[in-house]
Amino acid sequence: MGLSIVATPIGNAGDITLRALDALKRVAAVVCEDTRVTMKLFGIHGISTRLVAYHDHNAEEMRPKLVARLMAGEALALVSDAGTPLVSDPGYKLVRECLDRGIAVTALPGPSAVIDALVLSGLPSDRFFFAGFLPPRAAARRAAIAELAGVPGSLVFYEAPQRLAECLGDLGDVLGDRPAAVARELTKRYEELRRDRLAALAAHYAASGAPKGEVVIVVGPPDRPAEATAAELRLDQMLGEAMARSSLRDAVDEVAAASGLPRRLVYRRALALGRAQPR
């Protein structure tokens, strides 16, 4: 009884564990994002368990039904289209509700694009922050990146291929030209990992065009975590120039508009600079 969170292959049938296959055969039903994708896996391994679709579009309707089945004593398994469930999918809401109701939840670990990209990147892996997908619009994306600038560890993102070059450019502009890696089609036939500085990676993908397949970006931590980053130095310079010719409020508005950074972040920095100036 209870809910089993089962990791499934990212790219081929060989990535799944024997324990996971046994669980998928024993449960009353397997809850999945796309029945067509999971059916291919089932066909390879001769699994005939019933499939139930659970995704962003039907989660609110299906979650009470799934919880009711679990409360009645059924055993269910939750899978994603690829890799470990709950990473950028609605599965965490189902797990949270199960835990709130005292329903047993167990995890059967396996492949994860986040971890695979991190360990292949060659970047520090002792501390890292997974930020999922960044916002698609440039201003919101740059603001989200700015909030992560001080994280003292590697940063990991998912990104759509058509936005890759633009995203890498924004990462470099806001964070400085840090070492980074772009991984795509992990564990699949055309797996690729490219390592370089953010500026060079942005230039490469701008010239070559959007790659095919699923993309993970890994960005190294600040080179000097105790000191100002290149991005912070640029912000201070912009603020210093603007504050020399305008009021603090106008300078903040000008720099926030020019940099794409959140106004509250720019305002905080402007106040700090104002206090630091000799009177």
Residue in 15, 8, 33 with CA at minimum distance from that of residue 187: 15
Using pLDDT thresholds of 50, 70 and 90, give the confidence band for residue 277: low
Residue 133 bridge partners (DSSP):
158
The string over 261-275, giving b where at least 16 C-beta atoms fall within 10 Å of a residue's C-beta and e elsewhere, is bbeebbbebbeebee
Query: Which stretches within 81-228 are classed as H helix?
Result: 91-100, 113-121, 138-146, 164-175, 198-208
* pLDDT on residue 227: 43
Q: Mean pLDDT over residues 57-78, rounded?
A: 95
Percent of the chain with pLDDT over 70: 94
Question: What does the pLDDT look like over 242-254, one tens digit per residue?
Answer: 999 999 999 999 9
Contacts of 61 (CB under 8 A, 6+ apart): none
Q: Which CATH class is domain 114-219?
A: alpha beta
The whole-chain average pLDDT of the chain stands at 89
Lowest mean pLDDT among 63-77, 139-153, 217-231: 217-231
Q: In whole angstroms, what is the distance from residue 182 CA to residue 23 CA?
A: 34
Helix (H) / strand (E) element for 5: namely strand 2-6
Percent of the chain with pLDDT over 90: 66
Could you tell me if 211 and 139 are in contact, meaning their C-beta atoms sit under 8 angstroms apart? no
Choice between 272 and 123, residue whose per-residue pLDDT is larger: 123
Residue in 151, 1, 141, 4 with CA at minimum distance from that of residue 71: 1
Task: Determine the topology of domain 2-111 in CATH.
Answer: Cobalt-precorrin-4 Transmethylase; domain 1 (3.40.1010)
Sequence ranges of the domains in the chain: 2-111, 114-219, 230-276
Choice between 5 and 233, residue whose per-residue pLDDT is larger: 5
2-111 and 114-219: identical CATH topology: no
Contacts of 226 (CB under 8 A, 6+ apart): none
Could you tell me if 187 and 84 are in contact, meaning their C-beta atoms sit under 8 angstroms apart? no
Question: What does the pLDDT look like over 91-146, one tens digit per residue?
Answer: 889 999 999 999 999 999 888 889 999 999 999 999 999 999 999 999 899 989 98
* pLDDT on residue 83: 84
Question: What does the pLDDT look like over 159-182, one tens digit per residue?
Answer: 999 999 999 999 999 899 999 999
* pLDDT on residue 13: 57
Using pLDDT thresholds of 50, 70 and 90, give the confidence band for residue 279: very low
* Radius of gyration of the chain measured on its C-alpha atoms: 23
* pLDDT on residue 88: 73
Is the pLDDT assigned to residue 199 strictly greater than 80? yes
Q: In whole angstroms, what is the distance from residue 22 CA to residue 105 CA?
A: 17
